[in-house]
Amino acid sequence: MEPPDPDYILRGFDAPVTSLVFLRNSWEDRSCDGAAYLVAGTQSGSLFVWNLKTRRAIHCMMSIHANSILSLTVLDSAQVLSQGREGVVIRWKLMTIDNWLKIGLIVIFFCLNINWNCNHHHDNVAL
């Protein structure tokens, strides 16, 4: 049995996609009437937001991480975490779907010794 043909192919990424999450609009801006979005992180550290109703990229933040985005996590309908390969985790507050505000940043260092304090942060803002 052959796989089904795709309904649509999202194009326009600047590099291979490394992480995906789905997001629903619940902000004051109801212009999309609860539309579903796909948030994609790429190998170049960029973040793309796609409206799944219109199948169009509606927002892009280029090179927000120095290396590839390893993980994206939706905290609630207006907050997303992005984790880069360089060890930086950024907390984003979505004011509207095309206005993302960086509200937190933490740098994660690996522990070389189990007794070493892992709460060592550089230029951090409480998440």
What are the extents of the domains in the chain?
Answer: 17-107
In CATH, the architecture of 17-107 is: Beta Barrel (2.40)
pLDDT tens digit sequence for 86-99: 888 999 988 887 78
DSSP string, 102-115: EEEEEE----SSTT
Q: Whole-model pTM above 0.75?
A: no
Let me know: does 105 contact 125? Beta carbons within 8 Å.
yes
Q: Which residue has the higher pLDDT, 117 or 89?
A: 89
Distance CA(82)–CA(20), nearest Å, equals: 11
Share of the chain above pLDDT 90, in %: 29
